[in-house]
A = this chain, B = another copy of it.
Amino acid sequence: MLMSGQRRRRKASSSSRTATLAIQRRKWPPGLGSFTNSCVSDGTAPSGAHTEPWTFVVVKDRVVKHKVREIIEEEEKINYMKRMGRRWVTDVKKLRTNWVKEYLDTAPVLILIFKQVHGFAANGRRKVHYYNEISVSIACGMLLSALQNAGLVTVTTTPLNCGPRLRVLLGRPTNEKLLVLLPVGYPSQEAMVPNLRRKALDQIMVTV
């Protein structure tokens, strides 16, 4: 799971509240389709050897969204209870997350971004997708900027151990692996965000 800076920009919450993602269920930009299309297709994200190794699956259907939630909650419960060690559970504790992911139903749109670990050449042979994870993550960062500029909010999540089942649910081929899932919408009026501190500038930037 990745913490969303998008959330941080908004007013910090009382730390006594669980920091769940609060997205309005109904309100949504009228031009959703064209906005998402333009983010993706007019986007000029770079990729290794210009292979464009990504698939953006935009889930709007309520039933499919709920199936996504069911898969993620089942797998995440196992992550928290059994699969991940005490260290991981401790490291994410301050983020007040758990395996209940109500926002997967609430958010009007889920964008599941798959990396294509290889492609196919015209003759059917495997085509190498150089740096596919880096390329798709960069494209994800550019999409996050575009969403923020449009006044939308999201939380950048990496559903742990859920990739294979979600890939099958969405009918994606075996050369695609789920990289991140972005629930997208307008912020709820009651949205609460954790007041996380960030590193000081001299800890992250050096000038030579």
Contact = CB atoms under 8 A, between A and B. Distances in A.
Q: How many copies does the complex hold?
A: 2
Most chain-B CB neighbours within 10 Å: which of A94, A128, A198? A198
Interface string A132-166: 01110111111111101000000110100000000
A207 B36 CA distance: 10
Interface stretch (A51-59, A75-83, A100-108): A51-59
A29 interface: no
Interface residues on A, range: 35 or more
Interface in A8-46: 8-9, 33, 36-37, 40-41, 43-46
Most chain-B CB neighbours within 10 Å: which of A44, A52, A57? A44
Nearest to A116: B204
Mostly helix, strand, loop or mixed at chain A's interface? mixed
B56 A1 contact: no
A41 B201 contact: yes
Interface of A: 1-6, 8-9, 33, 36-37, 40-41, 43-50, 52, 54-61, 64, 87-88, 91-92, 94-95, 128, 130-131, 133-135, 137-146, 148, 155-156, 158, 170, 179-180, 196, 198-199, 201, 204-208
